[in-house]
Amino acid sequence: MGITKLTINNNGCIKVEGEFEIVDQSGKSFDLGGREVVGICRCGLSKNKPFCDGAHKGHFENEAIAFDLPPKK
């Protein structure tokens, strides 16, 4: 299995690419229609949640800069 890459976009979605499966809380898989790249909503405005539909444009600001988490307890 290849690596899955998540990119946290500034003022936008989480881009997921590679080999992955997205399931709901009961474990049922979303049918991704063969897509290998999807955007996951971070702003809560999408009408297509959990997927991004671009509704955030002009309504969501968040600069995503990588940082180190503290050690796991």
Residue 17 pLDDT level (bands cut at 50, 70, 90): very high
Q: What is the pLDDT of residue 1?
A: 61
CB 7 within 8 A of CB 1: no
Q: What is the pLDDT of residue 6?
A: 97
Instruction: List all residues 6 or more positions away from 70 whose beta carbon is below 8 Å from its beta carbon.
Output: none
CB 29 within 8 A of CB 50: no
Q: What's the pTM value of the predicted model, to 2 decimals?
A: 0.87
Residue 65 predicted with pLDDT over 70: yes
For the chain, how are helix, strand and coil distributed in percent, rounded to 5? 0, 20, 80
Tell me: the pLDDT tens digits for 27-60?
999 999 999 999 999 999 999 999 999 999 999 9
> What structural domains and CATH numbers belong to the chain?
1-22+33-64 (3.40.5)
